[in-house]
Amino acid sequence: MTEKHKKMLLRILVTFALFMGLLAGEKSGRIIWLEEFPAGFLAYFVPYCLIGYDIIWKAARNIRHGQVFDENFLMMIATFGAFGVGEYSEALAVMLFYQVGELFQSYAVSRSRQSITEMMNICPEYANIEEDGQLVQVDPDDVEPGMVIVIKAGERIPLDGRVIEGESMIDTAALTGESVPRRASAGDEIISGCVNGSGTLKVKVTKAFEDSTVAKILELVENAGSKKARVENFITRFARYYTPVVTIGAAFLAVIPPLLFGGGWGEWIQRACIFLVISCPCALVISVPLGFFGGIGAASRIGVLVKGSNFLEAVAEMTTIVFDKTGTLTKGEFKVTQVLSGNMGEEEVLRLAALGEGYSNHPISNSIRAAYGKPVDVSLVTDVEEIPGHGVCAQIEGSRILVGNGKLMESQGISYDEYQSGGTVVYVARDKSFAGTIVISDTVKEGAQEAIRRMKQVGVRKCVMLTGDRQEAAQAVASELGLDEVHAELLPADKVNRVEELLERQQKNQRLAFVGDGINDAPVLTRADIGIAMGSMGSDAAIEAADVVLMDDDVRKIASVVQISRKTLRIVKQNIVFALGVKALVLLLGAFGMANMWEAVFADVGVSVIAILNAMRALKVE
């Protein structure tokens, strides 16, 4: 509990003690003067001012600024009216219990924000750099890319970089929600905001602080509350018109009946005051945003950042999800999975291919050299010619070596054994003679199959994959994962067109999400109803364009966010129906003189507390 909450609680307890003492004296008949003016008025007005001075001040300030109709104004007018008709104890009770409700909802809002604002603690205070053999603490803003920083055990990683020395276990829980640390050693990329667990690391900085992971996360967190869901905007508009309408209604209730039927001014003014207390919209105004804060907080606790309640609402309505293949459903790590001999041994086929690809940095070339596993002597390779879309031609040890696809073999008039595979097939030939075949595959991510299965379980009707890869490779991945639809051999612009076609098929109140990680995915992420990006290894452009960010790239968490969002929306709708229903009933009873001030307090504070308790359920991750 904050200092502000403690002070408010003290005011409530002191006022409550005074109120109970005055009420006991009045009801017992021992303090007769409490029922008389001005003694009774002053006796109740002193604790009233103690508990309600801030409400009166806010109401007066807002009136001065032209913002008349709000809940502070309603409370002030209602309690002043109660004092005016001699209902001193009721006036004090209304303000006291209203402040109890305010304290409760303030505490609840703090609790719901906590899951989000805890992310602010990931901001590093300093970075260590080595000067003259000594470690010096500097502001992370002053560290430039290329500089080397030292991160000691227990310190928070201040900037993104690559480990150049040392080995340690990295605690990523603050970003990903995962409790299991990850090992980092020389050559590994690490991101800011995580905690270095066990050993000292030397890290070469790759990004300035303003472009680092932690800076981008903090920016997302700070802006999360500014993007409101449709239902939130509705409540804001509703309250804007609702408050003046009920104020005018209360004025009519106080004036019209006595004028038409004569006499009874005190009774009708009291009914009008009860009407105003009941009509206070705080149950809606507080519980609806609180529910969305809880949902966003619950998502952040599992390592998923949702950039606003409007996107949380959209996720709840998601019926189609579209995945990019490489880096999203597959690791993007091409590995040699098969070597088939032609007229020479498998080891020789792999050696010639590794030599032929010795000068290339293409992922396929890298995977062939990695599979060979021995140093490649590029001095043996001469007259290298890369043929776009076909492969490589080179002179190796006096022989003409071809390494490439079937088109290369056919263009050179070489007879080869065609091999059908879901992976990438590379053929090798020497001096017009077919040597053998190498199969390279991109491996499916751990958990991808489970992610698709969970999508189906939570009611996502269609799972689609888009890729620039070959149709055979794409179909093999789609079959393994159980996808409903696959589109292959697409350029980035083609992906946008495919998403637009899928969007046209959507019905009203249905949403399409796209999941990607590359810079070429940014246009598609923007075009989809919901863009979901990989936060750990995804590109900055993709993260910037996305609406939801998976901090640990685990696509299984998308189904969890769908569940959180749907639960949040259910809670919000429950609160709206409950609050409006109870208020409408008690308003009618109050207008006909069948509800007193205590029932009005329940219709305001009681309904608010119940709605807030219900909204706080959104914080819980099931």
SS3 97: helix
Q: Is the pLDDT of residue 160 over 80?
A: yes
> What is the structure's pLDDT at 514?
93
Please, are residues 171 and 159 in contact by the beta-carbon 8 Å criterion? no
CA-to-CA dists, residue 405 to 347, 408, 417, angstroms: 19, 6, 12
> Which parts of 399-461 are beta strand (E)?
399-404, 424-430, 433-444
Q: Average pLDDT in the 309-334 region? A: 87
Query: Which residue would you say has higher pLDDT here, 118 or 355?
Result: 355
161-165 and 189-190 beta bridge pairing: antiparallel
Residues with Cβ within 8 Å of 506's Cβ and at least 6 positions away in sequence, in order, are 319, 320, 512
Give the span between the Cα atoms of 176 and 185, in whole angstroms.
20
The proportion of the chain whose per-residue pLDDT surpasses 90, expressed as a percent, equals 19
Q: Is the pLDDT of residue 91 over 90?
A: no
Q: 110 pLDDT band (50/70/90 cuts)?
A: low
> What is the structure's pLDDT at 169?
86
Q: Is the pLDDT of residue 557 over 70?
A: yes
pTM for this predicted structure: 0.68
Q: Average pLDDT in the 379-388 region? A: 85
| Lowest mean per-residue pLDDT among 361-365, 392-396, 609-613 | 361-365
Q: Average pLDDT in the 2-14 region? A: 85
Q: Is the pLDDT of residue 333 over 70?
A: yes
| Lowest mean per-residue pLDDT among 34-38, 251-255, 410-414, 609-613 | 34-38
Q: What is the DSSP letter of 469?
A: S
Q: Regarding the domain with residue range 331-443, which homologous superfamily does it belong to in the CATH classification?
A: Calcium-transporting ATPase, cytoplasmic domain N (3.40.1110.10)
Q: Catalytic one among 324, 469, 521, 529?
A: 324
Q: Is the pLDDT of residue 323 over 90?
A: yes
| Domain boundaries for CATH 3.40.1110.10 within the chain | 331-443
> What is the structure's pLDDT at 436?
92
Query: What region, left, alpha or beta, does residue 375 occupy, with left being phi > 0 and alpha being psi -120 to 50 degrees?
Result: beta
Q: Is the pLDDT of residue 263 over 80?
A: no
| Lowest mean per-residue pLDDT among 346-355, 420-429, 482-491 | 420-429
Q: Is the pLDDT of residue 228 over 70?
A: no
Give the span between the Cα atoms of 456 and 69, in whole angstroms.
47
> What is the structure's pLDDT at 558?
93
The proportion of the chain whose per-residue pLDDT surpasses 70, expressed as a percent, equals 87
Please, are residues 281 and 291 in contact by the beta-carbon 8 Å criterion? no
Q: Average pLDDT in the 331-337 region? A: 80
Give the span between the Cα atoms of 96 and 49, in whole angstroms.
10
Q: Average pLDDT in the 50-72 region? A: 83
Q: 566 pLDDT band (50/70/90 cuts)?
A: very high
Q: Is the pLDDT of residue 462 over 90?
A: yes
Query: Which residue would you say has higher pLDDT here, 365 or 181?
Result: 365
Q: Which residues of 228-250 are buried (b: 16+ CB within 10 A; e: fewer)?
A: bbebbeebeebbeebbeebbebb
| Domain boundaries for CATH 2.70.150.10 within the chain | 144-207
User: Cis peptide before 258, with omega less than 30 degrees from 0?
Assistant: no
Q: Is the pLDDT of residue 224 over 70?
A: no
Q: Average pLDDT in the 454-468 region? A: 90
Q: Is the pLDDT of residue 564 over 80?
A: yes
pLDDT tens string 511-538: 999 998 766 677 888 888 999 988 765 5
Q: In this structure, what are the phi and psi dihedrals at residue 130, rounded to the nearest 5 degrees?
A: -95, 125
Query: Which residue would you say has higher pLDDT here, 228 or 135?
Result: 135
CATH 3.40.50.1000 fits 144-207, yes or no: no
> What is the structure's pLDDT at 260?
79
Q: Is the pLDDT of residue 133 over 70?
A: yes
Q: Is the pLDDT of residue 179 over 60?
A: no
Mean pLDDT of the chain: 82
Q: Average pLDDT in the 312-320 region? A: 91
Q: 437 pLDDT band (50/70/90 cuts)?
A: very high
Give the span between the Cα atoms of 577 and 574, in whole angstroms.
5
Q: Average pLDDT in the 541-557 region? A: 81
| Lowest mean per-residue pLDDT among 20-24, 221-225, 370-374, 411-415 | 221-225
Q: Is 324 a catalytic residue?
A: yes
> What is the structure's pLDDT at 220?
60
Query: Which residue would you say has higher pLDDT here, 111 or 614?
Result: 614
Q: 112 pLDDT band (50/70/90 cuts)?
A: low
Q: Is the pLDDT of residue 189 over 60?
A: yes
Q: 556 pLDDT band (50/70/90 cuts)?
A: very high
Q: Is the pLDDT of residue 49 over 60?
A: yes
